[in-house]
Chains A and B, each alone.
Chain A
Amino acid sequence: MADEAHGAAEAAAPGMPQLDFSTFSNQIFWLVIAIVAIYLILSRVALPRIGAVLAERNGTITNDIAAAEDLKRQAAEAEDAYNKALADARAEAQAIAAEVREEIKADLADATAKADADISAKAAESAARIEEVRAGALEAVEAVAKDTAAEIVAALAPAAADESAIAAAVTNRVKG
């Protein structure tokens, strides 16, 4: 080191070490080495690595969001399907209910018709029987009248007691 440099350093050293020019070359030399070292480390190793990690994370996040969207869509689809199934089931239930109702109505109508038929059949039967009874009664009345007439005729005029004639006469009378 030159003596002049030391002379200058002498004045400054006790006061401001920052102005001690004799140390400048040393500081600058090591500073340049440090800066170049940091620059190389950062530009070669650290920054590409961090950039890659960040890009990868962005990719992952994008993928995850896409996956989430997909799942959401699937969930919506499932819900739609569920709603559709529910509506179908409801419609079916309504259809079944309607069918059952129709069936019951038909059964009821059948039963009513049957009952009606029964009733009318019975009524007809009853009417027939009444007619029969009435006919029977008329016949009985005719028979009684014939018998009575025959008896009367036999009692009044035994000679004239022709049964067939009397019967025809009575029948005529009854009918007329």
Chain B
Amino acid sequence: MSEDAHSEETVDAHGAEAAHGADAGHAADAAHGAEGGLQIHPMDQFIVEPLFGDGGIGMFSITNVTLWLFLAVIAVVLLMVVGTRGRAIVPSRAQSVAELTYGFIRKMVEDVAGKDALVFFPYIMTLFLFILMANFLGLLPMSFTTTSHIAVTAVLAMAVFLTVTAVGFIKNGVGFLGLFWVSSAPMALRPILAIIELISYFVRPVSHSIRLAGNVMAGHAVIKVFAGFAGVLGLGAVAPVIAITAVYGLEVLVAFIQAYVFTILTCVYLKDALHPSH
């Protein structure tokens, strides 16, 4: 979708402005410059902007990322704390949802990773609820999707990777390396398999993070592309609107499934760490 006008001059002319996010609302305009014709910028929705004032984005500046992360925390609190404040034996609707989520993740941890993985249940529950809420909040129009950013998902995936590796070595000592030594394979194949297993082990955090960010980003970008068509077509934009509706429905599904997949893969990795025998 990058236009030809992204030539040196444009970047030079607007570079300083764009980099410093001149004005929160106009960072995208500045970056794209002024052009005519079909203007679709599907990636603009992912731009990180300061909420207050202008200037660069430091480590502690309040940005739209901060806002939407905060809203995700609020959503989790609303569901899991405010929703269950009644502690009713016959639950209210919010409490049923909270209990359903609790039972769903607890059963997943128990079934996939085993009973001794229940120590990590709050951690896995945190991951699931955060990703779920961030995905769903990102589906609101005009919102910012925190989970579409590699930086965010990479931190989540690296946290899982480091935890799993640490747990594996603490629980099993050097025996954890047995994960890479496929004892059921013929002896001649084992070194090759060990290399493959080792590579696949280190690719885990990469695929783990990019799967989530890529899915969310792709869906949002596709919606934006169709929205751009609709914008060009004006009132006659029936087909793009239908397409947006369909993709949006798919995105709601993807938002849940990606949270589920991220969580269940965490459980699978955890199982490998706790029971490394093949």
Contacts and interface: CB of A to CB of B under 8 A. Distances in A.
A and B touch in the complex (CB under 8 A): yes
A171 B160 CA distance: 155
B272 interface: no
Contacts of B56: 1, 6, 22
B152 A10 contact: no
Nearest to B15: A10
Given A29-B59, A39-B123, A54-B99, A18 B151 contact: yes
A42 B44 CA distance: 34
B interface majority secondary structure:
helix
Contacts of A17: 43-44, 46-48, 149
B69 interface: yes
A38 B57 contact: no
Given A27-B48, A54-B99, A1 B77 contact: no
B142 to A, nearest CB: 16
Given A6-B19, A18-B217, A38-B73, A46 B66 contact: no
A56 B58 CA distance: 48
Interface string A1-18: 100001001110111111
Contacts of B156: 31, 35
Given A14-B18, A18-B151, A53-B99, A34 B125 contact: no
A172 interface: no
Interface in B14-38: 15, 18-19, 31-32
Contact of B80 (A9, A11, A50): A50
A41 B103 contact: no
A50 B102 contact: yes
B252 to A, nearest CB: 22
A134 interface: no
11 contacts: A14-B11, A17-B44, A19-B150, A23-B63, A27-B151, A28-B152, A31-B146, A31-B156, A35-B159, A41-B81, A45-B80
